[in-house]
Amino acid sequence: MQHLMSPLDLSVEELDKLLTLANDIERNPQKYAHACEGKKLATCFYEPSTRTRLSFEAAMLNLGGSVLGFSTADSSSAAKGESVSDTIRVISCYADICAMRHPKEGAPLVASEKSTIPVINAGDGGHQHPTQTLTDLLTIRSLKGRLDNLTIGLCGDLKFGRTVHSLIHALIRYPNIQFVLISPEELRVPSYIREDVLRKNHVPFQEVERLEDAIGELDILYMTRVQRERFFNEDDYVRMKDFYILNKKKMALAKEDMIVMHPLPRVNEISVDVDDDPRAAYFRQAQYGVYVRMALILTLLEVNIC
């Protein structure tokens, strides 16, 4: 039985197979419409979500399966003090596969150790968000045609942004990837990412503060939200929250074929007047999230469709 805690749980070959399956699902949805009949997905969300939870649920419904679960810790017995270990032992009696989001880093891993069904980390604190990474990789491969030879700008909250951390881990496995890390001083990537992941693997990167200085050299601009829920101090959040606002004027400095990605939700960091720009890919990215989660469910449940 396989769980998914980190994008690195999948080899590059396994990832390639999964993304190819997701593309086939996109092209031939009817072929997969009954693939998970009789199977149940539990969504156990101890932290708010729109895209991840609902795209998991849409994915299982598209595969002909059923869904059950909870969307807040308060509406589960966690409110009475139940541990994730006990919860997953019980969920294992009710469902065939579980997607879990939790504010504590490592909570889905703890759950996976007691689970008798596959557990998918749907985001754990500021740590990892592997299915967002699968979504991002599918988006990049589908829209740019490759996962190598890319200059990727990561902009915003690079300190607490789990989507950024997961994406860096995943992309450094491909040839000729370079990063431009665009953030205010206080929200720079953690040193373990800079030293143990980027420098150790000889991945070229530069750190800059002004988006205008970097945007012209990028193939992909990955914007992120400054996350109020990760700050200990409201004053710091207020000072940082509008540090970057991507607008039409800044888009005019970008390459014709650059794409703009964002895991969403956005607050102010992308002006709505960018939404109609053909380079704005963030809503298409959300759609790719359904296809890749369908592919992941099929893979972890070992369902093969010829």
Binding interface with ligand CP (CB under 6 A): 49-52, 123, 132, 263-265
CB of 48 to ligand CP, least distance (A): 7
228 is catalytic: no
Look up residue 304 and give its amino acid.
N
| The dihedral sign for the CA sequence 68, 72, 78, 79 | negative
Closer to ligand CP at the Cβ: 49 or 299? 49
Closer to ligand CP at the Cβ: 52 or 92? 52
Q: 166 Cβ partners below 8 Å, 6+ apart?
A: 6, 7, 128, 129, 130, 132, 133
Cβ-contact 64, 42 below 8 angstroms: no
For the purposes of burial, counting CB atoms within 10 Å of the CB of 290, is it exposed (0-12), middle (13-18) or buried (19 or more)? buried
Whole-angstrom distance, CA of residue 68 vs CA of residue 82:
19
CB of 50 to ligand CP, least distance (A): 4
101 is catalytic: yes
* Nearest of 139, 166, 168, 131 to residue 153 by alpha carbon: 168
Length of the chain: 306
Closer to ligand CP at the Cβ: 109 or 264? 264
Closer to ligand CP at the Cβ: 50 or 247? 50
Q: Which of 3, 40, 53, 101 is catalytic?
A: 101
Neighbouring C-beta atoms of residue 24, cutoff 10 Å: 15
Whole-angstrom distance, CA of residue 87 vs CA of residue 82:
7
Cis upstream peptide for 265 (omega within 30°): yes
CB of 303 to ligand CP, least distance (A): 24
199 is catalytic: no
Closer to ligand CP at the Cβ: 136 or 219? 136
Q: Which of 3, 40, 102, 129 is catalytic?
A: 129
Residue 148: both structure tokens together: 């190598």
Q: Which of 3, 40, 43, 52 is catalytic?
A: 52
CB of 177 to ligand CP, least distance (A): 22
Q: Which of 3, 40, 43, 51 is catalytic?
A: 51
CB of 289 to ligand CP, least distance (A): 8
Residues forming the active site: 51-52, 80, 101, 129
